[in-house]
Amino acid sequence: MGKLLGLLLISLAGFSVAIAVPLVHLDARAPPGIPTTSTAKTLLAGLVVAAPVDTTTYKRDLFPTWNTISGTCNTRETVLKRDGTGVVVDSSCAATSGTWVSPYDGATWTAASDVDIDHMVPLKNAWISGASQWTTAQRRAFANDLDNPQLWAVTDNVNQAKSDQSPDQWKPPLKSFYCTYAKAWVKVKSVYSLTVTSAEKTALGTMIDTC
């Protein structure tokens, strides 16, 4: 993880001296569409509880990623620019520098290679909660959704630890993010009319209660 340094200019005996100091209070940027707490509770109450379906038929390539969004920039690169600070890209739109604060664990990164784009509701979870009945076009839209709080720039190994687990099985290391995490999860499931398990719904309610 890169340490971020700024320059503090001070004057000593008539001479100006620049001293490197750590930069702090970098805020993680968030995707659009995160509901208020009251709205999230209403949405959660409306989610249908059902057992997982088609649990053995999921394949990653059933959800095409990443779409070209603008010019040479695909969905991943678009999210990196959206959620980062001071992001610089090359002619192919690959991020060459910038700063990213992972909301899941609070870690700060200065290399895009340390950052994954996480699907808030994992693709396999979507598959077993209703997406197995969608068309490929619908699954592509879900996997590249920039209009709802579905895509997040996060620490790569934290994303890998989450894998395809639901909130009753995995929660972000940063407990202060439980509230936002649950509200985003509920919003995505509601927008796409995906079901939840009983354990998942209970865990979401407990997390929203931390708001």
Q: What is the pLDDT of residue 9?
A: 39
Task: Find the helix packing angle between 198-208 and 178-191, rounded to 10°.
Answer: 130
Which residue in 114, 181, 177 sits closest to 150, CA to CA? Answer: 181
Q: What is the pLDDT of residue 19?
A: 39
Q: What is the pLDDT of residue 28?
A: 60
Q: Write out the two tokens for 86.
A: 């001071």
The CA distance from 105 to 126, in Å, is 24
pLDDT in tens, the chain (211 residues): 333 333 333 333 443 333 333 333 345 677 999 999 999 999 999 999 999 999 999 999 999 999 999 999 999 999 999 999 999 999 999 999 999 999 999 999 999 999 999 999 999 999 999 999 999 999 999 999 999 999 999 999 999 999 999 999 999 999 999 999 999 999 999 999 999 999 999 999 999 999 9
Q: What is the pLDDT of residue 8?
A: 38
Q: How far is CA 188 from CA 2, 76, 80, 120, 200, in A?
A: 32, 18, 20, 8, 14
Q: What is the pLDDT of residue 12?
A: 37
Residues linked to residue 99 through DSSP beta bridges, in sequence order:
85
Q: What is the pLDDT of residue 30?
A: 79
Residues listed for the chain: 211
The CA distance from 10 to 150, in Å, is 45
